[in-house]
Amino acid sequence: MTLHETIKNQLKEAMKAKEEVKLRVVRGLLTAFMNEMVATGRTPQDTLTDEETLAVIKRAAKQRKESITQYEAAGRDELAAPEKEELVVLESYLPQMMSQEEIKPIAEAKKAELGVEDKSKMGILIGAVMKEVAGNADGGDVKTVVELLFE
């Protein structure tokens, strides 16, 4: 069963269990899946691949993180709280992200492989590391690790 089908089935489970937050997140994801299928020229009866499903979930999680940051900066904690709850549910669908300690050896190997010696080529190195970790690491963490290599 694909991740898309699993999430579809969880809609019923969330309704039966009366889990409001999970229900809200699953409904939002199913809508985003539908939008993705329409955008790629498929019918609503089709399903997304696991990679496409994860991309949609990552986008939704990123939106929640940005909203939380903006709400907290504006002192609107009452608006940030539901976003945090939804983010927890979204992250339960995502694979575990790599830590900075796990990224560091990859970044060091890429730095040696590409022969990057100065900060001016840091963007190229970040891009190469991001490609190597293939979406299993947060871009901010990769940037932090690469910046530490040049200190």
Same domain, 79 and 105: no
Condensed to tens digits (0 to 9), the pLDDT of residues 53-79 reads 988 999 999 999 999 999 999 999 999
Same domain, 88 and 117: no
What residue numbers bound the domain in which 76 lies?
3-93
Same domain, 65 and 116: no
pLDDT at 135 over 80: no
> DSSP string covering 100-147, please?
HHHHHHHHHHHHHHHT--SGGGHHHHHHHHHHHHTTSS-HHHHHHHHH
Q: pTM of the entire structure?
A: 0.75
Same domain, 85 and 106: no
First to last CA, the chain: 47
Condensed to tens digits (0 to 9), the pLDDT of residues 5-21 reads 999 999 999 999 999 99
What is the predicted pLDDT for the residue at 110?
85
What is the predicted pLDDT for the residue at 104?
87
